[in-house]
């Protein structure tokens, strides 16, 4: 076994959208597992929008990546050395190994993956953290009811597509929002949305609102919030009384510009938002899925069989090579991916 591995470090903090110079690909010493630890050769790693927040030195629910530190990521790979009786060489495991070719973690921080349940990449998307986010947020906070209407943006991503399929499972009308005609077609034909709007066709929140009104003739009962900006401004006046808004992200505001540019200050101002929440008796719940990882067994028990049988669909966008992770990440933040963004490392 080589005594070296590779990783991608945070070279500098971005000002606005990340740039190539914010990342550094470098070699480092291969770790050796201590008692209770497991060394994994990473085959695939996940790229997710939350990583943009980790690049900033700002107070948040999790500590930022230090300058020179390995970029954070979940990965799945093969155990090559173990000092734990819970794992043996040849097992497959998921863990927070970072943007790296190898990772060494305590066994209690790893999840054993059974390759017979499907491709190991599903542990990063549809049967991983993003899928759990969509399932938990929709079932627990969205409280789906037959005959009601759901709206979710980033509808072909791993969270949005899970949200839509869970809602459809409960008999809801599902309306997606995505970037581009190809993604909208995918939302309807692959993920079963009743309709999907291309946000790029609408310059302003008011234009998007009119189109949403046509697509949601009975109003909106659940808006699963993961983008903010123009979409939030378009949706709020269409919410029905006693509507629910689970909030798991606001990707349009992670960098300057983006989807936020189509919403005026008045449309997304605090007074306007709070008034809608008050007079329509809305339930608005922010959540961070890491606080609910204890629900993973329940999620896998319910959704795992549906994925393996083909009842629940998923799409993966796999970039080749750890060195290409920064480019794939920067593209993903601008909507350049089609489905769950993954990097093939090994």
In contact, 67 and 10? CB cutoff 8 Å: yes
Strands 316-320 and 283-286: unpaired
Location of structure tokens 């627990």: 140
Q: What percent of the chain has pLDDT over 70?
A: 95
Model confidence at 255: pLDDT above 80: no
What is the four-CA torsion angle of 129, 300, 109, 29, rounded to 10 degrees? Answer: -60
The dihedral of CA 61, 63, 67, 70: what is its sign? negative
* 106 vs 114 pLDDT, higher one: 106
**Rounded mean pLDDT of 9-25?**
96
For residue 189, count CB atoms less than 10 angstroms from its CB and return exposed for 0-12, middle for 13-18, buried for 19 or more: exposed
Residue 258 clears pLDDT 50, i.e. is over it? no
Q: What is the pLDDT of residue 224?
A: 98
* Terminal-to-terminal C-alpha distance of the chain: 14
Q: What angle do CA 122, 178, 301 make, to 5 degrees?
A: 30
- Smallest CA-to-CA distance from 175 within 201, 202, 148, 200 is with 148
Query: 3-class secondary structure for the chain?
Result: CCCEEEEEEECCCCCCCCCHHHEEEEEEECCCCCCCEEEEEEEEEECCCHHHHHCCCCCCCCCCCCCCCECCCCEEEEEEEECCCCCCCCCEEEECCCCECEEEEEHHHCEEECHHHCCHHHHHCCCCHHHHHHHHHHHHHHCCCCCCEEEEECCCCHHHHHHHHHHHHCCCEEEEEECCHHHHHHHHHCCCCCEEEEHHHCCCHHHHHHHHHHHCCCCEEEEEECCCHHHHHHHHHHEEEEEEEEECCCHHHCCCCHHHHHCCCCCCCHHHHHHHHHHCCCEEEECCHHHHHHHHHHHHHHHHHHHHHCCCCCCEEEEECHHHHHHHHHHHHCCCCCCEEEEECC
**What sign does the dihedral 266-271-273-276 (CA atoms) show?**
negative
pLDDT value at 259 more than 50? no
What are 159's two structure tokens? 């969270």
Q: Determine contact, residues 55/8, Cβ cutoff 8 Å.
A: no
Q: Give mean pLDDT, residues 178-200.
A: 97
Bridge partner list, 14: none
Tell me: the pLDDT tens digits for 28-43?
A: 999 999 999 999 999 9
Q: How confident is the model at residue 257 (pLDDT cuts 50, 70, 90)?
A: very low
Instruction: Provide the whole-model pTM.
Output: 0.89
Structural domains of the chain sorted by starting position, each given as residue range(s) with its CATH number in brackets: 4-125+314-344 (3.90.180.10), 129-289 (3.40.50.720)
Q: Residue 256 above 70 pLDDT?
A: no
The angle formed by the CA atoms of residues 172, 177 and 178, to the nearest 5 degrees, is 135
Going by C-alpha positions, the residue among 77, 110, 108 that lies closest to residue 95 is 110
| Residues written for the chain | 346
């Amino acid at each position: 076994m080589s005594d070296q591995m590779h990783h991608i470090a945070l070279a500098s903090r971005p000002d606005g959208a990340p740039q190539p110079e914010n990342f550094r690909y470098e070699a480092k010493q291969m770790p050796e597992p201590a008692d209770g630890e497991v060394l994994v050769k990473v085959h695939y790693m996940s790229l997710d929008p939350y990583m943009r927040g980790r690049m900033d030195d700002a107070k948040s629910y999790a500590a930022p990546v230090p300058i020179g530190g390995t970029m954070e990521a979940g990965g799945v790979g093969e155990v090559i050395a173990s000092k734990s009786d819970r794992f043996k060489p040849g097992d497959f495991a998921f863990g927070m190994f970072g943007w790296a070719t190898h990772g060494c973690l305590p066994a209690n921080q790893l999840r054993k993956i059974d390759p017979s349940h499907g491709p190991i990449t599903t542990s990063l998307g549809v049967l991983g953290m993003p899928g759990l986010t969509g399932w938990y947020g929709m079932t627990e906070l969205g409280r789906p009811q037959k005959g009601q209407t759901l709206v979710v943006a980033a509808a072909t991503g791993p969270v949005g597509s899970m949200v839509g399929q869970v809602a459809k499972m409960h008999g809801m009308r599902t309306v997606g929002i995505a970037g581009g005609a190809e993604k909208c077609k995918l939302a309807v034909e692959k993920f079963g949305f009743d309709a999907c709007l291309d946000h790029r066709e609408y310059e302003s929140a008011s234009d998007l609102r009119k189109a949403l009104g046509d697509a949601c003739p009975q109003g909106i009962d659940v808006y699963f919030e993961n983008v903010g900006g123009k979409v939030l401004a378009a949706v709020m006046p269409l919410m029905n009384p006693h509507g629910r808004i689970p909030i798991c992200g606001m990707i349009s505001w992670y960098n300057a510009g983006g989807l936020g540019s189509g919403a005026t200050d008045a449309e997304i101002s605090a007074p306007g938002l709070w008034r809608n929440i008050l007079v329509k008796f809305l339930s608005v719940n922010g959540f961070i899925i890491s606080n609910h990882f204890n629900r993973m067994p329940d999620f896998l028990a319910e959704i795992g069989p549906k994925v393996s049988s083909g009842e629940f669909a998923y799409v993966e966008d796999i970039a080749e090579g750890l060195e290409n992770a920064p480019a794939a990440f920067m593209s993903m933040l601008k909507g350049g991916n089609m489905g769950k963004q993954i990097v093939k490392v090994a």
